[in-house]
Amino acid sequence: MRSYRSLGVLAGLLLAAGIAMAGGVDGGQPFDISTPQSFREQVAQVHTGLNPGGEYAFLSAQDRARVDHEISTMDALFQRYGNIEAMGGAGRVRLYNAQESVNRILTRGRTGNTQCAWTQQTGSSIPRTLCWSTQA
C-alpha cells in the first residue's frame, strides 16, 4: 500500500515538473514557450505589449533590457536545439530560468520566483534538476 502511495506522489511531482517546464496550465504565465511556434507567437505579443499604451508599457528601461536579454537567450536555445525535447537537462534549465525571469518581470512578481540549477548532488555523479522558490 505504501509503495502505491509513493508512486502516486512521484507521478504527481513528475506531472508538476512537466507542466512547469511547459510554462503552466492556466495561462496565468504571460510567456508560454511550450513549442517553438508558441515561442515565436509569444515574442511577438510581448514586443507588441512593450509599445506605448501596451500591456507592458509600465516596464522600466532596465526591465525591458532584461526581458529582451532573456528572450534572446530562449531564442538562441530554440535555434540551437529546435525544440524542448531535443534539449539536454542544462539547456532546459537555462530555458526555464529565462522564462521564469520574463514572467516575473511581466507580471510584476505575481508569478513567484522559482529558479533551477542543473547540478550533481553530493555523493552522486549523475546531474539532476534542483529547483527552489524564494519569496521577496
pLDDT tens digits along 48-75: 999 999 999 999 999 999 999 999 999 9
Separation CA 84–CA 123 (nearest Å) = 29
In this prediction, residues 7-13 reach a mean pLDDT of 32
- Phi then psi for 130, rounded to 5 degrees? -120, 130
Ranges 5-19, 44-58, 107-121, most confident: 44-58
Chain centroid to CA 106: how far?
13
Beta strands in the chain (DSSP E): 114-120, 127-133
In this prediction, residues 79-89 reach a mean pLDDT of 90
Rg, Å, the chain Cα set: 17
The predicted pLDDT at position 29 comes to 56
Sort 106 into a burial class: Cβ within 10 Å, 0-12 / 13-18 / 19+: buried
Q: Which residues pair with 120 in a beta bridge?
A: 127
Query: What pTM was estimated for this model as a whole?
Result: 0.66
Percent of the chain with pLDDT over 70: 73
Instruction: Quote the mean pLDDT of the chain.
Output: 75
